Amino acid sequence: MSNNIKYLEQKSLEYRKTTLEIIYNSGAGHTGGSLSCLDILNVLYNNILGITPENFSSSNRNQYIHSKGHSVEALYTVLCDKGFFSKSDLDTLNNFNSHFIGHPTRKIKGIEHNTGALGHGLSVAVGMAISKKINGSDKFVYALLGDGELSEGSVWEACTSASKYKLDNLVVIIDRNKLQITGKTEDVNPIEPLDKKFESFGFEVNIINGNKIEEILQSLELIPFKKNKPNVIIANTTKGCGVSFIENQVSWHHKVPSEGEYKIAMEELNKRLK
Amino acid sequence: MTDIGKPNLEIFAETLLNQAKQNKDIIAVTSDSRGSGKLVTFGNELPDQIIEVGIAEQNLVGLSAGLAAGGKIIFAVSPASFLTARSFEQIKNDVSYSDHPVTLVGISAGISYGQLGSTHHSLHDFAALRAINNISIVAPADNFEAAEVIKKAVSYEKPLYIRYGKKPMMNLPRKNSNFEISKASIIREGKDLTLVATGETVQRAYLASLILQDKGIDVEVISMHTIKPFDNEALINSINKTKALISIEEHSVYGGLGECCSSIISQGEFNTKFKIIGIPDEYMINGTQADVLDHYGMSPEKIADTSVALLA
């Protein structure tokens, strides 16, 4: 295993600790979904996007849309690590008059677009990707969507435009943790066969384990998968990934750990940190 | 004699085409609406500056926000009925809350679609969008305002909604030939009565003022083309010199121009006689735009009758 993979795996453990810490301290947050998408954000921000505080105001760079806005604690964690803001700023999460709230906003440096209502991010990403095509840019637009979010019809409206405009500079990543607030996605409103749905909408599909750093990295390095076709990565993940008693539990969608649960979770993560 | 111009919608399309020829960053985004938006010529002459999403208004607005975020100057064009209802959440979140300066062009607004029924009417758009933070709302009255607002929109740095009707409009006289978003146009000055109207009802107010003039009543007519931010000063200046105020709008009586005026009058403790004319809360009568407006008290004659009664 390369040193980079090992480095990122350790980063993921640190990120999970920070995410749990800010949720615990602020008394609110989407624990399960943040932990499921953290490895994807880790690889994106450390190896793929090249978005930095210094180049964030530049128009010719990659862009990232966090369409599953409720998992903002994971995004805050990674952006903080990348130097977009200080940890003491992040520690104001959910305080009165703080811009660090339960969904992303452009008031926070590093965030492209305000999300929170589901099914919005992909259309915005499509617009950004068309804009890059018009400008002759070789940069990419990445959008992370939740799997429950895929019930929103607007997602599929956006897919038709992505295909029509041959947006091979658009990378859609599905955090496929198979749970949503009510229960299993396939019980609430089935979305399978997801790969065939995206294929029929004109996407080139790659299915990976979205909690394996190596697989995420390999997949993202293959972008664009095919000329003139939008890309989708179906990242099979575990909701609550990394903490045994949080994993795959519907109840942890937006549950905040108690003092005891927080200590046990941190102990679990610390044992794996080297 | 009245000077009849073109439909404001045609003026919009001509002005946008002229602006877009000079600025490659201007892009029109349509939802199978280039025909009804009079943008067929635009599409033929500037095919690289038009994006078509098909019948998908949510995507129209979200995608427009993304294009604006990419530095493009965006005019998202769709029937006002669908644009301000189907994609309401995209207007709220992706354009206004996210602060992307998209210009949303609501075509065939109000009851322009007449007998097509309430699915195609937008009598809610002022009320709905007024309650959204960070978006301006404009309803041009005549060809002059229809063109000027598009020129202003090109460099407008905030989200903007513009509402267009599709019938030929009178070219109205005006006291001042400057046009500014959020600054009302004084169509004529008077001292007895203020008629404040917006969009296609301004010409009806003006025609009513001519009838009233023959009765010896001196009427001030204001085109309150900008519903938000509202020109409080223009309204207050007028009601301070006249004896009564009537508002006229092609919109529900709830949440539109009339209630903007009502709020100013009551909070400012102005002692003026006041009447709101608009579409009442009932199952709409069917007919052409002109017939329906006439039915609901917006013919020049009925406006004049209401004026006389209010002043009595």
Residue whose token pair is 């029509």: A164
Best mutation site among B25, B58, B91 for testing chain A: the one with the most A CBs within 10 Å? Answer: B58
pLDDT in tens, B235-260: 999 999 999 999 999 999 999 999 99
Q: How confident is the model at residue B45 (pLDDT cuts 50, 70, 90)?
A: very high
pLDDT at B139: 98
If you ran DSSP here, which 8-state letter would residue B267 be given?
A: H
For domain B173-311, give its CATH number from 3.30.70.260, 3.40.190.170, 3.60.20.10, 3.40.50.920.
Answer: 3.40.50.920
Tokens standing for residue B190: 């008077």
Count of helix runs (H) and strand runs (E) in chain B: 12, 14
Q: Do B62 and A115 touch (CB under 8 A)?
A: no
Mean pLDDT of B120-146: 98
User: Do the strands B219-223 and B185-188 form a parallel or antiparallel pair, or are they unpaired?
Assistant: antiparallel
**3-state class (DSSP) for residue A110:** coil
Within 8 A of A134 by CB-CB distance, chain B residues are: 27, 48, 70, 72
- Comparing C-alpha atoms, which of B163, B225, B174, B219 is closest to residue B195? B219
Which residues of B fall below an 8 Å CB-CB distance to A?
27, 48, 51, 53-54, 56, 58-59, 61-72, 89-90, 93-94, 97-99
Report d(CA A117, CA B13) in Å as an integer.
33
Report d(CA B184, CA B304) in Å as an integer.
22
- Comparing C-alpha atoms, which of A170, A189, A186 is closest to residue A178? A186
What CATH number corresponds to the domain at position A47? Answer: 3.40.50.970
Q: Residue B1: is its pLDDT beyond 60?
A: no
Q: Do A122 and B62 touch (CB under 8 A)?
A: yes
Tell me the CA distances in angstroms from B4 to B24, B167, B168, B206, one per residue in order. Answer: 33, 10, 7, 13
* Burial per residue of B37-72, b for 16 or more beta-carbon CB atoms within 10 angstroms, e otherwise: bbbeebbeebeebbbbbeebbbbbbbbbbbbbbbeb
pLDDT at B269: 85
- Comparing C-alpha atoms, which of A170, A118, A109, A176 is closest to residue A142? A170
* Burial per residue of A49-81, b for 16 or more beta-carbon CB atoms within 10 angstroms, e otherwise: bebeeeeeeeeebbbbbbbbbbbbbbbbbbbbb
- Comparing C-alpha atoms, which of B2, B4, B11, B158 is closest to residue B73? B158
Question: How many CA atoms does the CB half-sphere of B286 hold within 13 Å?
Answer: 4
If you ran DSSP here, which 8-state letter would residue A221 be given?
A: H
Side-by-side strand order, sheet with B185-188: B185-188, B219-223, B193-197, B244-252, B273-279
Q: What does the pLDDT profile of chain A (274 residues) look like in tens digits?
A: 789 999 999 999 999 999 999 999 999 999 999 999 999 999 999 999 999 999 999 989 999 999 999 999 999 999 999 999 999 999 999 999 999 999 999 999 999 999 999 999 999 999 999 999 999 999 999 999 999 999 999 999 999 999 999 999 999 999 999 999 999 999 999 999 999 999 999 999 999 999 999 999 999 999 999 999 999 999 999 999 999 999 999 999 999 999 999 999 999 999 999 8
CATH dotted code for B4-169: 3.40.50.970
Report d(CA B36, CA B250) in Å as an integer.
20
Q: C-alpha A142: how far from its chain's center?
A: 10
pLDDT at A1: 74
pLDDT in tens, B77-113: 999 999 999 999 999 999 999 999 999 999 999 999 9
**3-state class (DSSP) for residue A119:** coil
Tell me the CA distances in angstroms from A2 to A46, A217, B234, one per residue in order. Answer: 15, 12, 70
Same CATH topology for B4-169 and B173-311: the answer is: yes
Q: C-alpha B75: how far from its chain's center?
A: 16
pLDDT at B40: 97
Bridge partners (DSSP) of residue B223 are B185, B197
Tell me the CA distances in angstroms from B49 to A124, B17, B23, B32, B70, one per residue in order. Answer: 18, 10, 10, 15, 14
Q: C-alpha A118: how far from its chain's center?
A: 13
Residue whose token pair is 């939008």: A230
- Comparing C-alpha atoms, which of A83, A91, A78, A87 is closest to residue A38? A78
Q: How confident is the model at residue B175 (pLDDT cuts 50, 70, 90)?
A: confident
Residue whose token pair is 């530095």: B71
Alpha helices in chain B (DSSP H): 8-22, 40-45, 57-69, 80-83, 88-90, 125-130, 143-154, 202-214, 232-241, 257-268, 289-293, 300-311
Segments making up each domain of chain B, as ranges: 4-169, 173-311
Within 8 A of B27 by CB-CB distance, chain A residues are: 134
Q: Residue B277: is its pLDDT beyond 70?
A: yes
Nearest to B69 among A113, A119, A160 (CB): A113
Nearest to B63 among A63, A123, A132 (CB): A123
Nearest to A128 among B66, B89, B90 (CB): B66
Within 8 A of B97 by CB-CB distance, chain A residues are: 105, 114
**What backbone phi and psi angles, to 5 degrees, belong to B28?**
-95, 135
Report d(CA B162, CA B105) in Å as an integer.
5
How many CB atoms neighbour CB B119 within 10 A? 10
pLDDT in tens, B2-11: 689 999 999 9
Tokens standing for residue B264: 């100013």
CB A206 within 8 A of CB A231: yes
- pTM for this entry: 0.97
Cα dihedral: A20, A21, A25, A30 (round 10): -20
Domain count, chain A: 1
Within 8 A of A59 by CB-CB distance, chain B residues are: 70-71
**3-state class (DSSP) for residue B151:** helix
Residue whose token pair is 């007919």: B287
Q: How confident is the model at residue B176 (pLDDT cuts 50, 70, 90)?
A: confident
**3-state class (DSSP) for residue B183:** strand
CB B293 within 8 A of CB B201: yes
- Comparing C-alpha atoms, which of A52, A229, A128 is closest to residue B74? A128
Name the residue in chain B with its Cα closest to that of A59: B70
Q: C-alpha A85: how far from its chain's center?
A: 19
Residue A84 belongs to what domain range?
3-272
Nearest to A128 among B27, B58, B69 (CB): B69
Tokens standing for residue B227: 């519903």
Nearest to B89 among A105, A117, A131 (CB): A117
Which residues of A fall below an 8 Å CB-CB distance to B?
59, 63, 105-106, 112-117, 119-120, 122-132, 134-135, 153-154, 157-158, 160-161, 165
Report d(CA B82, CA B55) in Å as an integer.
10
